[in-house]
Amino acid sequence: MKRHELIIIGAGPAGLSAAIEAKKNGMDVIVFDENQRPGGQLFKQIHKFFGSKEHHAKVRGFRIGQQLLKEAEDLGVRVELDSTVMGIYENKEVTVKQSGEVHHYKGDAIIIATGAAENMIPFKGWNIPGVIGAGAAQTMMNIQGVQPGSKILMVGSGNVGLVVSFQLLQAGCQVAAIIDAAPRVGGYGVHAAKLARTGVPFYLSHTVVEAKGTDRVTGAVIAQVDSHFQPIPGTEKELDVDTICIAVGLTPMSQLASNATCDMELIPQKGGHVALLSEYGETSVKGIYCAGDVAGIEEASSAMIQGRSVASRVSLCAGYISQETFETRYQGFQEALGQLRQGMFAPQNKGRNDFTVTDEGYPISKTLLAHGYMTEEELKEFPAASYTKPGIHPVIECTQNIPCNPCQDACHFGCIKVGENITRLPAIDTEKQCTGCGLCVASCSGQAIFLVDETYAEGFASVTFPYEFLPMPEIGDKGTALDRQGKPVCEAEIVGVKKSPVMDKTAVVTMKVPLEYVHTARFYRPTVCE
């Protein structure tokens, strides 16, 4: 039997972060993962993260994964792949299946960081090829370079469903609709808004009742649901799709914790059955800890902090760091987690739908929650989205208390202010002069910042917006400006395209539109030559 001071199960964001922290402290660490490559879900995630600098804000998920892997490799962290942990037994003995053989390991401490599994929903034809999970779609697109389908129905409007829908568009797929049984969009409004302005429709209070086809999906039948989430007869609607993508939440993969006889409890706010944990992430079995989604479903940013925090506690108990050092680090980790656990999207608020105003007292858009976009009248309630200053200036259509502040850091002239509480809505300092550099536009993880100039030319205005699709528009191209619903509103001409390494694949595109559409035009559709 091989002994290690710390055994970590799972090489995702939490597990790798824990391994790095423990190794830095001098511990003997080994990491097991059943997959062929480490990094967990990070390498599927091509979108930019929210949060602040310490949370890897405005950095794409796969780049964070690359950073973690390099740091682990540089430290000499031992990561065993294709290694399935079969069970945890008395005295923290672990059995691992490797190359068809079962090996036994003994850990002085164990951190379970096995993550979460996708939920599925049963409906007629749900087992037909073409019904896939959102994670599978991400793997196909972002790992294997394969389109999951041509026309996609996305089931679920949480952040996963919204993010993957946008990635499907980036991969050249058509998203026919996003549906959700809930009466309101479950994810960040900024994610929904960037989909809505491309023309993707939202059907809230709807569910999928049937996948059409025999050997593959040839269509989908959706229906409106009542207050008990049951389909309402007579409301059926058939959609022409070849793929149904399911994004209806995650469940903690807590089987190993249960196998280790840890006390468990069903906690819906955490996603399902989880181990009962101490303040420091320790289970009821001394020396066994949990970190990341296995301890409760949150964002990858939280998982990485949790991993480091738990590893610090293990290092203290093993005598590698002092109590004083631990307390200082632990306080820092808790403060970082606290920043992410504020606002209406905090874990403790999961399942709540009674928010009517922001922390600042502004009314939450009913149209945004029901259809994925905001009306001009609703936006007028938000100072950062007002249009009072002549000349080029930012317009920020971020209207929910999301933990995020890259826009503040991006502006070198102090035009944008969020403050220490990163869930506060961004504000614009009208005394500061915007230079039109576009860095705030590119840095916004929710693609919710625009630059407008009502004085661009006589009778015309310019609208600058983020763009992450191919082919990239070129100066002189002419097409159609779309509004926040994705509806055509006027002709548009591309007059500026900015790309730079610091923008990390988010181009800043400027279109010229008639002056009367400056408050309406928010996206661009190129003219397609027949």
- Span 193-206, pLDDT tens digits: 999 999 999 999 99
In a domain, 359, yes or no: no
Q: Does residue 316 lie in a domain region? A: yes
Strand order in the sheet with 206-212: 206-212, 219-224, 237-239
Residue 214: other Cβ atoms inside 10 A: 9
pLDDT digits (tens, 9 = 90+) for 81-137: 999 999 999 999 999 999 999 999 999 999 999 999 999 999 999 999 999 999 999
Q: What percent of the chain has pLDDT above 90?
A: 93
Distance CA 115, CA 15 (A): 9
**Helix ranges restricted to H, 349-497:** 366-371, 376-379, 406-410, 439-443
| Per-residue pLDDT band at 529 (split at 50, 70, 90) | low
User: What is the C-alpha separation between 256 and 94, in angstroms, rounded?
Assistant: 10
Q: Say whether both 36 and 112 belong to one domain.
A: yes
The pLDDT value recorded for residue 472 is: 96
- Are 395 and 518 part of one and the same domain? yes
Helix, strand or coil, per DSSP, at residue 42: helix
Supply the range of the domain harboring residue 270: 2-116+251-340
CA distance 191 to 185: 10
Taking only Cα atoms into account, the Rg of the chain, rounded to an integer number of angstroms, comes to: 24
> Do residues 328 and 235 share a domain?
no
pLDDT of residue 440 exceeding 70, the answer is yes
Domain count of the chain?
3
Q: 3-class secondary structure for 441-482?
A: HHHCCCCCEEEEEEEEECCEEEEEEEECCCCCCCCCCEEEEE
Q: Which two tokens mark 98?
A: 């490797």
Crossing angle, helix 159-170 and helix 189-196, to 10 degrees? 30
> Are both 133 and 95 inside the same structural domain?
no
Determine the Cα–Cα distance for residues 285 and 292; give it in Å rounded to an integer.
Answer: 18
Q: Give strand ranges (E) for 181-336.
A: 202-204, 206-212, 219-224, 237-239, 243-246, 250-252, 264-267, 272-275, 288-290
DSSP assignments along 126-160, one per residue = TTSTTEEEHHHHHIIIIIS---S-SEEEEE--SHH
Quick one: 239 and 274 in the same domain? no
Contact by Cβ (8 Å): 13, 293:
no
Whole-angstrom Cα distance, residue 326 to residue 309? Answer: 9
388 and 505 part of one domain: yes
Average pLDDT for 307-312? 98
Domain boundary among 210, 231, 246: 246
Q: Quick one: tokens of 220?
A: 């989908």
Per-residue pLDDT at 53 exceeds 80? yes
Examine the domain organization and report whether 112 and 157 are in the same domain.
no
In a 10 Å sphere around its CB, with 0-12 CB exposed, 13-18 middle and 19+ buried, how is residue 209 labelled?
middle
* Strand-pair partners of 289: 111, 282
For residue 45, being part of any structural domain is answered with: yes
pLDDT digits (tens, 9 = 90+) for 454-496: 999 999 999 999 999 999 999 999 999 999 999 999 999 999 9
* DSSP structural state of residue 68: H
d(CA 221, CA 209): 6
Q: Which residue, 5, 79, 2, 96, is CA-closest to 40?
A: 79
**Is residue 370 in a domain?**
no
Which residues, including other chains, have CB under 8 Å from residue 345's CB and lie 6 or more apart? 188, 400, 401, 402, 403
* Mean pLDDT, residues 170-192: 97
pLDDT > 90? residue 396: yes
Q: For residue 517, what pLDDT is reported?
A: 97
At residue 388, does pLDDT exceed 80? no
Residue 530 in this model has a pLDDT that exceeds 60 = no
The Cα–Cα gap between 70 and 223 comes to: 48
In a domain, 347, yes or no: no
State whether 383 and 500 are in the same domain. Answer: yes
Indicate if 416 and 498 belong to the same structural domain: yes
CA distances from 437 to 415, 421, 498, 513 (A): 12, 26, 9, 20
Give the confidence band of 40 by pLDDT, cuts at 50, 70, 90: confident
Final residue before a domain boundary, out of 196, 217, 246: 246
The mean pLDDT of 402-417, rounded to a whole number, is 94
510-517: average pLDDT: 97
Sign of the CA dihedral 65, 66, 69, 70?
A: negative
> Smallest Cα–Cα separation from 93: which of 102, 101, 80?
102
Global pTM value: 0.95
User: Among all chains, which residue has been given the structure tokens 């709807």?
Assistant: 206
Asked if the structure places residue 199 within a domain, the reply is yes
In a domain, 346, yes or no: no
388 and 483 together in one domain: yes
**Long-range contact set of residues 328-334: C-beta below 8 Å, sequence gap at least 24:** 330/280, 333/305, 333/306, 333/308, 333/309, 334/309
Give 361-381 pLDDT, tens digit per residue. 999 999 999 999 999 999 999
Q: What is the largest CA-CA distance in the chain?
A: 80
Tell me the pLDDT tens digit for each residue of 344-359. 998 888 888 889 999 9
Give the mean pLDDT of 66-74: 96
Question: What is the rounded CA–CA span in Å between residue 433 and residue 391?
Answer: 10
Which one of 246, 266, 285 terminates a domain? 246
**Residues 455 and 389 both lie in one domain:** yes
To the nearest whole number, what is the mean pLDDT of the chain?
A: 96
Same domain, yes or no: 430 and 494: yes
Distance of CA 362 to the CA centre of its chain: 25
**Confidence (pLDDT) at 54:** 86
pLDDT digits (tens, 9 = 90+) for 318-337: 999 999 999 999 999 999 99
Token pair of 142 as six digits? 């972002």
Task: Please indicate, yes or no, if residue 355 is contained in any of the structural domains.
Answer: no
Could you identify the residue written with the tokens 């996708």? 118
Q: What is the CATH number of the domain that holds 270?
A: 3.50.50.60
CA end-to-end distance (rounded Å), the chain: 69
